[in-house]
Structure 1
């Protein structure tokens, strides 16, 4: 399948998962003919919106589409500088002023408020974010193609939900279930590549061991790895995720499989960890999702209290942002007991197209020694690629 048609992409339920979903080589997994109310659907692709404590989202809390089969294109080599199938004659444009939910000065004031909460012991870390919004005309899928080309990531996704579309360019896996094994890979720690390194063509998304990274010529990467603040952020969220995973794993099976590994994107470095364990017998996908959702890396800790302050300080429903997009595959014969496979991203670097507008969020984790100016710079850095496209 080299190309898709306009009929394909305009049909409700059309879905693309692009990257390393499920593991292995870069693939494009495409759902073309969604069905409804299947008795035993083999595949389901969909999303969970971020669960604001009291604010109502502008999209349903979740929506999944059912498929008898999916089309899979495995791309050559372990590369991500390849795109999902294209469509002839599609384009998009934006108009009007880019709306930003807070100005820089307002953002800095909010960070000071969060630091006061941290000093008082109300929370230990909180993910505070900014919403960007602009008028949008044309094909959301055209933007998805442009985005995956400009900024390849492991967990990109596109969902046509009829009256709205989701465009995800996420680098972060929320969790994966295969057999009786579950893994989660929280990301915390971001820095731009050194300007000289950024000019080099990156064909591989590398997940690197920290020790080897000190041999790299990129001074920014070394700065990231030497940062006590960035280490503390990741450690706190890793502990939170370990607690969530531990609720559904067999005693004695939980382990920290990777500690502060490095993820290389086209223009950024991230650090992440991996927690894994063996699931309790008889768990359903719903029970696993309930135990894990939402991800700690995009809320804070303690999770419930951080979410309450997120809503108070951001003042807007996050919709799909920091929710999750992914798939459930049933009837899988794998070692273990579950009989299904799941893989979900954290819906960061993710846009929502609805009612003639596109919205996009960016932010970061705030801790006691966060510097407001630097936090704002990091927020804008994360939004940079997307904002240039619109």
Structure 2
């Protein structure tokens, strides 16, 4: 279950912890205490495994409604990463095509403790070279996938499917400084990194997959994109297509939260708010609920993974379409990455995310397809989402 490789990024000098959603006051004092890595081939239920491992470290994962236990001096909290393929396993859906970065785990949990000795400053980055990006499908193949989804909608098989593409590029040097730069992109609510032996992930996600605090659970789905100009904002607010696509996913998220909520407690706190990520406007809503008694981390993950905004509606039918259409696995994209601490879970959806294995850097981007989708526009939207990530990774 745990794998450690003698080569690759894991053998490079240690750097300060920069896990998305980790407490800011702790980041310069965190030291790894324990680690679990799991891959699909290991078998078993990743949701149950995550709950058991975290509960064993006193993080209260078996019942998220209980008051936070007294703080343990030997444990501050834990980074939690769940791949899209692991999320599909949790709901008995097809995992899809093979991961283009097989060194990546499908579940990673890193438990941290505090230290009174701050880590030494990181060495200056060495030489960095990133080769040309090679997309896993052409624009024509992407557009054909959009048309295939529209045909499935026309047959009544689905209402919406999120279609995702992948690109890879060779590199030399330490990828972690480049991946860490992603946290500085405007709107990166879940900016940060996580790495292990032979792999590293960098995130610039603006989207909350799930947050639990004081017995209340919320999600902030994002659907709807336009250029970050005055005209783009007006167009997004006026678009019937974007609003319909967005409301479908809000309804799906209401249903996901209802599976673990107290009866009658699910509510939409904010609907179709326009917020900025880099040079794009995006529409975001907030859905929340009171957790039912006894809900643990495993039930939470099974309810929200894989994220509705990157799958579609109905979720299981959309996952079937995704597995049939996407030629390359989602790897580190469209999963979850964040922090689990005493009385708190905060996981971002790994959109605007890149990953490195020992040889290549990988990025993923896509968008939601509805009956009104225009294939050329969908291809252009995916490219616009990936562009800031690609450009920052290529910087010297």
Q: Under TM normalisation by the shorter chain, which class is it? A: 0.7 to 0.9
Name the residue aligned to 1:43: 77
Post-superposition offset of 1:152: 4.7
Q: Distance in 1 between matches of 2:11 and 2:190?
A: 21
Q: Distance in 1 between matches of 2:387 and 2:346?
A: 27
Contact 1:17 1:28 in 2 (8 A): no
Matched, 1:175 2:175: no
Structure-2 change in CA distance of 1:342 and 1:225 (3 Å)? same
Of the structure 1 ranges 92-101 and 134-143, higher mean CA displacement relative to structure 2 is found in 92-101
Counterpart among 202, 207, 228 of residue 193 in structure 1: 228
Post-superposition offset of 1:98: 1.6
What per-residue deviation string (whole Å, max 9, x for no partner) do you get for residues 9-38 of structure 1?
8449x64135xx389xx8784574111276
What per-residue deviation string (whole Å, max 9, x for no partner) do you get for residues 280-324 of structure 1?
112212221122111100000111111111121112221111010
Contact 2:82 2:106 in 1 (8 A): yes
Of structures 1 and 2, the one scoring higher in RCO (CA 8 A, sep 6+) is 2
Post-superposition offset of 1:86: 7.5
Contact 1:22 1:176 in 2 (8 A): no
Q: Distance in 1 between matches of 2:330 and 2:200?
A: 15
Name the residue aligned to 1:251: 263
What per-residue deviation string (whole Å, max 9, x for no partner) do you get for residues 219-262 of structure 1?
11000000001101110000001000001010111111111111
Greater strand fraction, Structure 1 or Structure 2: 1
Matches within 5 A, 1:332-351: 340-351=343-354
Structure-2 change in CA distance of 1:183 and 1:146 (3 Å)? same
Contact 2:22 2:338 in 1 (8 A): no
Name the residue aligned to 1:63: 108
Name the residue aligned to 2:32: 34
Q: Distance in 2 between matches of 1:227 and 1:190?
A: 10
What per-residue deviation string (whole Å, max 9, x for no partner) do you get for residues 145-196 of structure 1?
43333445111120012210011110101110001101100000111112xx
Contact 1:151 1:385 in 2 (8 A): no
Secondary structure in 2 matching 1:44: strand
Q: Distance in 2 between matches of 1:116 and 1:370?
A: 11
What per-residue deviation string (whole Å, max 9, x for no partner) do you get for residues 60-110 of structure 1?
220101112389x9xxxxxxxxxxx98441146344432101111121122
Count of equivalent residues: 336
Contact 1:16 1:28 in 2 (8 A): no
Q: Distance in 1 between matches of 2:314 and 2:121?
A: 43
Counterpart among 101, 110, 113 of residue 136 in structure 2: 101
Q: Distance in 2 between matches of 1:235 and 1:192?
A: 21
Name the residue aligned to 1:120: 155
Matches within 5 A, 1:206-285: 218-285=230-297
Structure-2 change in CA distance of 1:91 and 1:312 (3 Å)? farther
| TM-score, normalised by the number of residues in structure 2 | 0.79
RMSD value, Cα: 2.7
Matches within 5 A, 1:344-383: 344-383=347-386
Of the structure 1 ranges 149-158 and 354-363, higher mean CA displacement relative to structure 2 is found in 149-158
Matches within 5 A, 1:79-98: 87-91=122-126, 93-98=128-133
What are the ranges of 5 or more consecutive residues in structure 2 without an aligned counterpart? 1-8, 36-55, 59-74, 89-93
Contact 1:298 1:322 in 2 (8 A): yes
Structure-2 change in CA distance of 1:44 and 1:95 (3 Å)? closer
Post-superposition offset of 1:126: 0.5
| TM-score, normalised by the number of residues in structure 1 | 0.80
Secondary structure in 2 matching 1:135: strand
Matched, 1:299 2:349: no
